[in-house]
């Protein structure tokens, strides 16, 4: 059974909507851990649009499972990561205007740059994963630069709308997982997974961990809203 990493970025997105102190992603992380998740994921973006430097320091200090820091290969972020020392760093591409990570990091295109970052983080004792598209050439390139973990991008599978397209994207992921395992890589997967599409991916043999954020935080609003209103009514009364 794959493990579950919960991405708490969107708890910080909600906090930033008001610029205050709540909701706190660390509090969310603690609840996720009590509920049985296996790791906490947060993306320290270059523009700090949600998770900020204090959040990652607090997460590193208090997360009891594993803290997986998503990050770009921007030198400023790499320096931060070397100080924060998360258990794991997942390298992702980052564009300022995007709403979310839009594709995998192209290892073939940025092999040298990524290789230097991987080496620097590993030297600090951080486990390094690279978020890549389900393409054999990218998986092979990741292996050659010395990473031991990859995360397969499931975004195209999640966005596919016809049965044919879903099947095609699913097969790409399954084959990518099998190929990566044959190279001795640890394989994670994530992006866009939700309560309707996760089962099929979770059944693929050999996936170590699924990283899921948006759908869990979205559902949490509705599973908690009833009690939140009741609590407020009680106080008013």
**Active site members:** 43, 70, 191
**Shortest spacing between CB 169 and ligand PXP, in angstroms:** 15
What one-character DSSP code corresponds to residue 87? S
Q: Can residue 132 be called a binding residue for ligand PXP (CB under 6 A)?
A: no
Residue from 70, 94, 133, 209 touching ligand PXP (CB under 6 A): that is 70
**Does residue 56 belong to the site contacting ligand PXP (CB under 6 A)?**
no
Strands 149-153 vs 186-190: parallel, antiparallel or unpaired: parallel
Dist CA 190 CA 209 (whole Å): 8
Question: Which of the ranges 113-121, 170-178, 190-198, 227-235 carries the binding residues for ligand PXP, by CB under 6 A?
Answer: 190-198
Candidate list 190, 197, 198, 201; residue touching ligand PXP; CB under 6 A: 190
Binding of ligand PXP by 131 (CB under 6 A): yes
- In angstroms, rounded to a whole number, what is the distance separating the alpha carbons of residues 205 and 175? 11
Q: Is the dihedral of CA 150, 155, 157, 158 positive or negative?
A: positive
Among the listed residues 45, 156, 172, 191, the single contact to ligand PXP using CB under 6 A:
191
208 makes contact with ligand PXP (CB under 6 A):
no
> Quick one: 26 or 217, whose CB is closer to ligand PXP?
217
186 and 148 Cβ atoms separated by less than 8 Å: yes
Nearest one of 65, 86, 67 to 77, comparing CA atoms: 86
Site residue total, ligand PXP (CB under 6 A): 19
CB of 217 to ligand PXP, least distance (A): 8
- The pattern of x and - marking residues 143 through 162 that bind ligand PXP according to CB under 6 A reads --------x-----------
Do residues 121 and 89 lie in contact, with contact meaning Cβ atoms separated by under 8 Å?
yes
Burial zone of 5 (CB within 10 Å; 0-12 exposed, 13-18 middle, 19+ buried): buried
- Binding marks (x or -) toward ligand PXP, 89..128, rule CB under 6 A? -x-x-------xx---------------------------
**Residue appearing with tokens 């290892």:** 107
Q: With beta carbons less than 8 A apart as the criterion, state whether 180 and 139 touch.
A: yes
**Least distance (Å) between residue 159 CB and ligand PXP:** 10
Q: CB under 6 A: which stretch of 58-66, 142-150, 185-193, 198-206 binds ligand PXP?
A: 185-193
Specify the length of the chain in residues.
Answer: 237
Q: Could you tell me if 144 and 115 are in contact, meaning their C-beta atoms sit under 8 angstroms apart?
A: no
Cβ–Cβ under 8 Å, residues 68 and 87: yes
State the residues that interact with ligand PXP by CB under 6 A.
7, 9, 43, 70, 90, 92, 100-101, 131, 151, 190-193, 211-215
């Amino acid at each position: 059974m794959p493990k579950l990493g919960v991405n708490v970025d969107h708890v910080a997105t909600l906090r930033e909507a008001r610029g205050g102190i709540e909701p706190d992603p660390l509090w969310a992380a603690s609840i996720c851990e009590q509920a049985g998740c296996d790791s906490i994921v947060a993306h320290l973006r270059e523009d700090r649009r949600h998770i900020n430097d204090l959040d990652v320091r607090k997460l590193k200090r208090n997360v009891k499972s594993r803290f997986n820091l998503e990050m770009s290969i921007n030198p400023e972020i790499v320096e931060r990561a070397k100080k924060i020392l998360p258990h794991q760093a997942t390298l992702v591409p980052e564009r300022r205007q995007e709403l979310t990570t839009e594709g995998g990091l192209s290892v073939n295109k940025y092999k040298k740059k990524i290789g230097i970052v991987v080496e620097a983080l590993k030297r600090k004792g951080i486990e390094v994963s690279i978020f890549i598209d389900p393409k054999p050439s990218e998986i092979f390139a990741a292996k050659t630069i010395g990473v031991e973990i990859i995360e397969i991008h499931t975004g195209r599978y999640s966005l596919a709308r016809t049965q044919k397209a879903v099947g095609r994207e699913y097969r790409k992921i399954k084959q990518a997982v099998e190929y990566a395992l044959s190279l001795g890589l640890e394989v994670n997967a994530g992006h866009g997974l939700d309560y309707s599409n996760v089962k099929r991916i979770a059944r693929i043999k050999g996936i170590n961990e699924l990283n899921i954020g948006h759908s869990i935080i979205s559902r949490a609003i509705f599973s908690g809203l009833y009690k939140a209103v009741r609590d407020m009514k009680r106080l008013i009364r």
